[in-house]
Amino acid sequence: MLQVGINGYGTIGKRVADAVVSQPDMELAGVAKTRPNFEAERAVANGYPLFAAVPERVERFAAVGIDLAGEVDELVERSDVVVDATPSGIGAENKELYETYDTPALYQGGEDADLVKTSFNARANFSEAVGADHVRVVSCNTTGLSRLVAPIEEAFGIEKVRATLVRRGGDPAQSGRGPINDVLPDPVSLPSHHGPDVKTIFPDLAIDTLGLKVPATLTHTHSVNVSLEREASAAEVRDLFENESRLFVIGEDLGIDGSGAIKEFALDAGRPRGDVWENCIWGESIAVEGSDLYLFQAIHQESDVVPENVDAVRAVTEIEDAETSIERTNEALGMGF
Ligand SMILES: NC(=O)c1ccc[n+]([C@@H]2O[C@H](COP(=O)([O-])OP(=O)(O)OC[C@H]3O[C@@H](n4cnc5c(N)ncnc54)[C@H](OP(=O)(O)O)[C@@H]3O)[C@@H](O)[C@H]2O)c1
């Protein structure tokens, strides 16, 4: 059984921890946090070994009666792979720690692309991460775009992608983020940095992206236009998407009109935390005009990268190929509605 450690137990870290626990070939070596808050209390309640991410803060945990399994170095030493899910920029500071113990590490999309040689999306470039020591699982938005681009490129060829990313102002628990009552071009200079990030997965892709931030918390929404190299009908594109395990085409009859209904649907389906690991593409929005494909998709920013982290663990440890890993991850999580 692979021992997987999680350094940074917040929005992404706690979801990846639960996903690791559900995998038949992995065990959770433990999780590391800096503060003894409600997430620390829940980690211990779940039976997850909890490690102090900052040694000077060990006593804070003792003061509120939370038992620690040790300090973060011990977690790194006992792990076959560490998933670093700390806030943007901290992962880069932690790289030396992982190197000290020769433990392969996965970083998240908030880290700069040049921190590692390999940025990762399971559907698009699993093989490039096989045996790598340091891999960045790309951001929620880049994951959402990569899952679309890979099958379209294979089936029809892509001349150019143009995508407008309508981004949530913050996650539901991020009380300090906004905007509260505004729509912000973000970044205001065009094109946005998201396109270059997609090119870390598809170096030869022509892509321009624009970003906005809106007062929403549940999902990002992408308005996507792909100029195709070969002719395709909307029905062919829809068929293609329906055969992809991490793309969910929202049926017209479901009456799902936005992010709120998607979340409610996921909760009704019994998804943990109402998570939606798949891209959600509105079936009615898939349209082809000449050689231009158009669609809208919603991306659940808190969870779409979770199955990607699980697959990246298998890639760096070389225990499975892409197809087997994706299938195993999907089955253990309960992917698909
Ligand atoms: N949320 C999203 O929508 C999303 C989507 C895709 C990718 N990402 C990326 O995933 C990464 C993590 O984001 P997140 O949203 O999960 O952040 P988050 O909710 O703030 O969680 C990060 C956790 O790391 C802990 N932490 C802080 N400093 C630490 C340190 N030095 N060592 C260990 N743990 C530390 C914090 O908890 P304590 O201080 O209490 O320990 C915090 O709860 C970022 O790179 C982000 O860009 C985020």
Structure confidence at residue 329 as a pLDDT band (50, 70, 90): very high
Closest atom of ligand 1 relative to the 12 alpha carbon: 16
- Residue 334 to residues 19, 266, 271, 275: CA-CA distances in angstroms? 10, 12, 8, 11
Instruction: Output the CA angle 311-38-27, nearest 5 degrees.
Output: 30
Q: Are 163 and 194 in contact (CB under 8 A)?
A: yes
Tens digits of per-residue pLDDT, 149-163? Answer: 999 999 999 999 999
Q: Render pLDDT for 288-322 as a digit per residue (tens, 0 to 9).
A: 999 999 999 999 999 999 999 999 999 999 999 99
CB 273 within 8 A of CB 105: no
Residue found under tokens 């309508």: 166
Tens-digit pLDDT profile for residues 121-150: 999 999 999 999 999 999 999 999 999 999
pLDDT of residue 282: 98
Handedness of CA 36, 38, 40, 44 (dihedral sign): positive
Q: How far is the CA of 10 from the centre of ligand 1 (A)?
A: 5
User: Residue 86: which pLDDT band, with cuts at 50, 70 and 90?
Assistant: very high
DSSP 152-205: HHHHH-EEEEEEEEEEESS-TT-TT---SS--EESSSSSS-THHHHHTTT-TT-
12 CA to middle of ligand 1, Å? 7
Helices (H) and strands (E) counted in the chain, each on its own, are: 12, 16
Average pLDDT over residues 28-54: 97
What does the pLDDT average to over 98-115?
98
Whether 140 is catalytic? yes
Which atom of ligand 1 is closest in space to residue 86's alpha carbon?
24
Write down all domains in the chain, each with its CATH number in brackets: 2-137+305-333 (3.40.50.720), 140-299 (3.30.360.10)
Q: What is the mean pLDDT of residues 258-268?
A: 98
Cα(177) to ligand 1 centroid in Å equals 14
Predicted pLDDT of residue 167:
97
Residue nearest to atom 34 of ligand 1 (CA): 8
The residue whose CA is least distant from atom 1 of ligand 1 is: 302
Q: Supply φ then ψ for residue 282, to 5 degrees.
A: -70, 120
User: Active site residue: 6, 17, 140, 237, which one?
Assistant: 140
The set of protein residues with a Cβ atom below 6 angstroms from ligand 1 is 7-8, 10-13, 32-35, 37, 53, 85-88, 90, 108-111, 139-140, 171, 301-302, 305
Query: Roughly what angle, to the nearest 10 degrees, separates helices 234-242 and 140-156?
Result: 120
Contacts of 315 (CB under 8 A, 6+ apart): 120, 122, 126, 127, 129, 130, 132, 135, 322, 325
Report CA(253)–ligand 1 centroid distance (Å): 37
Give the containing element (helix H, strand E) for 277. none
Residue holding tokens 């699993």? 126
Instruction: For 273-287, write each residue's pLDDT tens digit.
Output: 999 999 999 999 999
